[in-house]
Structure 1
């Protein structure tokens, strides 16, 4: 679904922060993206989500050349990509239900057409009893699961998760990992950026390791 060929990226006139990055994300695959702090994991996720353009190289997303896409096409393609950010990006004045449903509301859908789907998804991530709560009273783990549910509500082809277990305890991290694995079994490709070696050791999955701007892949 996504292909990088010799991709490089630099900020301004500085040195390249990513150099000759080449990899593919097949449909229905599961992979970890790891590396030390400052290695460029978040930058690579931004390139995957197309919120940044590379300085050089080829990025192909769902068969389309990233460099040839115009602004009108980007939102349509991004709907196929779910993203879980480190800071959750939940809106404090909205309930958990409203936060998860927001992408569908923005698209102009009537609530009657999606309410059952949102409720089912909240139950699936274990927030069925918290759907009317607002983010300020949610725990860190509950906010994380709400962010995951919002990323999944449009049934993306691929999910990008940036340090999804970084702010939770080990039992909850394992629970979140099980959610990602179940999602993957349902057909969604998953990319998890993490520095948690113990988490990665729980799953036999491809590891993409960034170090000094270069990417090594271990199947």
Structure 2
């Protein structure tokens, strides 16, 4: 679905943050992205989400050359990519239900056409009894599950998760990981950026390791 060939990225005139990155993310695949803090994991995810353009190299996504994707096409392609950010990015004045439904509301869909899907998804992530509360009332783990639900509401073909278990206890981290594994079994490709070695050891999955701006891949 996504292929990077000899991709490099730098900010302004500074040194390259990422160098000669070559990577193929197949459909239905599951991989961890790891490496020291500040090594570029979030930057790589932003490239995959198309919120950054590479300084050099080729990115192909869903068969399209990144350099040839127009401004009008970009939102349509991004709808096929779900993203879970480190800081959740929930809107405090909207309920859990409203936060998860927001991408569909922005597209102009009528609530009657998606209400059952949102309710079912919130139940699936274990928030069926928290859908009408505001984010400040939610625990860190509940906010994380709400963020995952929002990323999944448009049924993306790939999910990018940036440290999805970074702010929760080990028991909840395992629960979140099981959700992502189940999602992968249902057909969604998953990329999890994490520094948690114990979490990665729970799954037999490909590991992408960033260090010094370069990527090593361990199948």
TM-score normalised by L of structure 1: 1.00
Matched with 1:194 is 194
Matched with 2:208 is 208
> What CA distance in whole angstroms lies between the structure 2 residues aligned with 1:23 and 1:103?
29
Matched with 1:6 is 6
> What CA distance in whole angstroms lies between the structure 1 residues aligned with 2:100 and 2:10?
34
Matched with 1:172 is 172
> What CA distance in whole angstroms lies between the structure 2 residues aligned with 1:143 and 1:168?
10
Displacement of 1:70: 1.1
> What CA distance in whole angstroms lies between the structure 1 residues aligned with 2:15 and 2:67?
22
**The residue matched to 2:82 in structure 1 has which SS?**
strand
Runs of 4 or more, structure 1, over 6 Å off, are: none
> What CA distance in whole angstroms lies between the structure 2 residues aligned with 1:108 and 1:24?
34
Root-mean-square deviation (Å)? 0.3
> What CA distance in whole angstroms lies between the structure 1 residues aligned with 2:154 and 2:14?
38
- Residues 93-132 of structure 1 aligned to structure 2 (within 5 Å): 93-132=93-132
Displacement of 1:182: 0.2
Matched with 1:64 is 64
Displacement of 1:5: 0.1
Listed one character per residue, the Cα deviations across residues 83-135 of structure 1 (whole Å, up to 9, x for unaligned) are 00000000000000000000000000000000000000000000000000100
* Structure 1: tracts of 5 or more residues without a match: none
Matched with 2:38 is 38
> What CA distance in whole angstroms lies between the structure 1 residues aligned with 2:12 and 2:75?
26
